Chains A and B, each alone.
Chain A
Amino acid sequence: MTQTDDILSVDGLSVSYATPTGTLRAVRDVSFTIGRGEIVGLVGESGCGKSTLMQSILRLLPGAARIEGGAIRLSGEDLAHAPKKRMRQLLGDRISVVFQDPMETLNPVLTVGRQMIDIQHRSRESRAAKRARAVAMLKRVKIPDAETKIDSYPHEFSGGMRQRVAIAMALMAEPDLLVADEPTTALDATLEIATIDLLRELQEEIGCAILFITHHLGVVAELCDRIDIMYAGALVESGPTMEVFRDPRHPYTQLLFACDPAQIAEQRRHLPSIPGSLPDLIDLPQGCIFAGRCPRAEDRCRTEAPAPRAAGGSEQVRCHFADAPRLEVPA
């Protein structure tokens, strides 16, 4: 894939927060790309910086945060330093977002129809035409009886339907990039599957790229073409989903997969976990960020930070021993 085919490219991005006890370096030197029409899963546990990364792309960072370095480009245009006015043009036109909780996205005192018409404020079409588009979009996300339901308020929809309304609204502008921040985490398993299937269908029709942020590995495997795994502010591994699942190369990825009860075939009472806790992001350890919890760590790991390199089927692995045999995970 050539450079020009990338919708989004993040290059060496570092973001930090000013805190009373020092500078918290939440995202450090993260690089990845999303090709046109590609679905990319961004995975990591709480505190790994995936929300900070998302907020940087959308330029929704809180006041204490600062982009220290690197670039974020949307089809070549720099977002990290774009003026506010330009960002407002891009958001909702070329970039859309679906958040975790649709109740926070939807205004509870306006009907869904009113909100879906309002977000078309850039279009010069008549109100009736906008309403017709909204109804058509609701039908596409399989809201039964869309002509009537459009005049309902958000609370009159069930949780799964609300999220589908939020997806409909995000996709109305036919964006180039959809950022989905844990859109299925609050849903039941049956609805989660339905929502993922719907997203995949719509993505095929519209052809937008999706950055899908989640901590649910199964969802990534079902939906995403590529997977990026973050740990403590660093991108530790990235590559094609099936390759990474088949043969993860970073010890953290290996342990994370081993801990997922879904991936343990035989029944066992005692489940594996990753001992230790996240490193302090204010006073960063020298060397590899995962060295403190890594069963494979050697002296070199504690002094020298590994540079990303290709290993196995993965395109980027930040580990000195990326080619070592896969870790045995005891029960």
Chain B
Amino acid sequence: MSALLTVRDLHVRFNTGGPLARALGRDTHIEGVAGVDLDIAPGETMALVGESGSGKTTLARAVAGLGGDITGEVLFDGKPVAGRTGGEAKALRRDVAFMFQDAVSSLSPRFTIRGLIEEPFRIHGQPIPEGEVERLLGLVGLSAEMADRRPHELSGGQARRVGVARALALEPRLVIADEPTAGLDVSVQSEVLNLLNDLRERLDLAILIITHNLNIVRHVADKMAIMYLGRFVEIGETQAIFAQPRHPYTKALLSANPIIDAEARRDRIALEGEVPSLTQRPEGCEFHGRCPFARDLCAREAPDRTREPARSYTCHFPLEEEAPA
């Protein structure tokens, strides 16, 4: 299957310094995303996981063509995302839908729900088919009466569903969902995820889902990428990674999952310290300062990417298959 979205060596930079720092000739740039490769095929779900500040949202925004100082290649359907103007830019916004993290504040309080769902059609100059708003509301499991309400009258879960309805209004080919279930109750969380999954099956949607809930990833994602300081430390098939993480950071994240089973807790890797600052990236392997298995080599030399059939990772001393007990 050919990729719908192709990302090659993507860097997103931010300038953190003011005029004084510039006048003094200091380099005040940080790289929020520092060299990332990614492919998503139609009908595929890719999950981006990592701690706060690892660059997940920055990457997603760059993929959607949303601003920033971007170098590298982002191709959607074989055509670059960057530098599009006029009709081409508009077409991209139709094909790539973004579900924002804060569903309630992504909805204008002055619009009714009907107005909000009709807005994408109006922006793209498309006729609104009779009963389309009701159809979309039904699709996301909201009643037609909702159409005349305003965002403040909705619960968090309902606002989230309106966000899904808006994202799907123009039948996009890629949906980027930034923490689509953060702050939702477990029962509602399942409904939102099931909805996205149903639509993926029906419309052959590609989904890029950003989350730090690994329990969700295990169920809904075909592939996953683990981000640390703007780079993928491990990327590949979800099942392979869950079965045996190679990168210690992946293992630490996977094991940082509160669980009911007291047996499994013993296998936990505790991370020391905090995520290093992007202004002072560590030498060598960027994870060595927090890695329980770090050796001398890790502090000196950055590891190359090791490729296996089901995944790739960057670690000098990858975790091995445990001998069966």
Give the B-binding residues of A (Cβ under 8 A): 45-46, 158-161, 188-194, 196-197, 215-219, 221-222, 245, 255-256, 259-264, 267-274
Most buried by B among A190, A216, A255, A267: A190
Interchain nearest-CB distance for B13 vs A (Å):
23
CB-based contact A46/B253 at 8 Å: no
Instruction: Beyond the given A190-B252, A190-B253, A273-B191, please list 19 additional residue pairs across the A-B interface where CB-CB is below 8 A.
Output: A45-B187, A158-B274, A188-B51, A188-B212, A189-B214, A192-B258, A193-B268, A197-B270, A218-B257, A218-B260, A222-B258, A255-B187, A261-B216, A261-B219, A267-B219, A270-B194, A271-B190, A271-B194, A271-B220
Q: Is B256 part of the contact surface with A, judged by Cβ < 8 Å?
A: yes
Q: Given the interface contacts A45-B187, A255-B187, A273-B187, does A189 sit within 8 Å of B274 by beta carbon?
A: no
Residues of B near A160 (CB, < 8 A) are 274
Q: Given the interface contacts A45-B185, A260-B215, A269-B220, does A193 sit within 8 Å of B258 by beta carbon?
A: yes
Give the A-binding residues of B (Cβ under 8 A): 51-52, 155-156, 185-191, 193-194, 197, 212-216, 218-220, 238-239, 252-253, 256-260, 265, 268, 270-271, 274
Using a Cβ cutoff of 8 Å, how many contacts connect chains A and B? 101
Q: Given the interface contacts A193-B268, A256-B186, does A269 sit within 8 Å of B260 by beta carbon?
A: no
Q: How far is the CA of A319 from the CA of B53 in the complex (A)?
A: 45
Interchain nearest-CB distance for A264 vs B (Å):
7
Residues of B near A188 (CB, < 8 A) are 51-52, 212
Residues of A near B194 (CB, < 8 A) are 270-271, 273
Residues of A near B270 (CB, < 8 A) are 193-194, 197
CB-based contact A273/B190 at 8 Å: yes
Give the 7 A-B CB pairs with smallest separation, nearest first: A218-B258, A271-B190, A45-B185, A261-B215, A273-B190, A274-B187, A262-B215
Q: Given the interface contacts A192-B256, A193-B268, does A259 sit within 8 Å of B219 by beta carbon?
A: no
Q: Which residue of A lies closest to B268 (CB)?
A: A193
Residues of B near A274 (CB, < 8 A) are 187
Residues of B near A262 (CB, < 8 A) are 215, 257-260
List, sorted by A's number, 24 A–B pairs whose CB atoms are closer than 8 Å. A45-B186, A46-B155, A188-B212, A190-B51, A190-B256, A192-B258, A194-B271, A217-B186, A217-B260, A218-B258, A218-B259, A222-B258, A259-B189, A260-B186, A261-B189, A262-B257, A262-B258, A264-B219, A267-B238, A269-B219, A269-B220, A271-B189, A271-B220, A273-B194
Q: Which residue of B lies closest to A161 (CB)?
A: B274
Residues of B near A268 (CB, < 8 A) are 219
Most buried by B among A193, A261, A272: A261
CB-based contact A189/B219 at 8 Å: no
Residues of A near B256 (CB, < 8 A) are 189-190, 192-193
Q: Which residue of A lies closest to B50 (CB)?
A: A188
Q: How far is the CA of A197 from the CA of B212 in the complex (A)?
A: 20
Main secondary structure of the interface of A (DSSP, over half): helix
Q: Which residue of B lies closest to A46 (CB)?
A: B185
Q: Which residue of B lies closest to A261 (CB)?
A: B215
CB-based contact A261/B218 at 8 Å: yes
Residues of B near A46 (CB, < 8 A) are 155-156, 185
Residues of A near B219 (CB, < 8 A) are 261, 264, 267-269, 271
Q: Which residue of A lies closest to B181 (CB)?
A: A261
Residues of A near B257 (CB, < 8 A) are 189, 218, 262
Q: How far is the CA of A161 from the CA of B274 in the complex (A)?
A: 9
Residues of A near B258 (CB, < 8 A) are 192-193, 196, 216, 218-219, 221-222, 262
Residues of B near A216 (CB, < 8 A) are 258
Q: Which residue of B lies closest to A191 (CB)?
A: B51
Q: How far is the CA of A217 from the CA of B260 in the complex (A)?
A: 8
Residues of B near A219 (CB, < 8 A) are 258
CB-based contact B193/A271 at 8 Å: yes
Most buried by A among B191, B216, B252: B191
Residues of A near B191 (CB, < 8 A) are 273
Q: How far is the CA of A263 from the CA of B261 in the complex (A)?
A: 10
Residues of A near B253 (CB, < 8 A) are 189-190
Q: Given the interface contacts A270-B194, A270-B197, A271-B193, does A221 sit within 8 Å of B259 by beta carbon?
A: yes
CB-based contact A272/B190 at 8 Å: yes
Interchain nearest-CB distance for A229 vs B (Å):
12
Q: How far is the CA of A94 from the CA of B194 in the complex (A)?
A: 46
Q: How far is the CA of A191 from the CA of B50 in the complex (A)?
A: 12
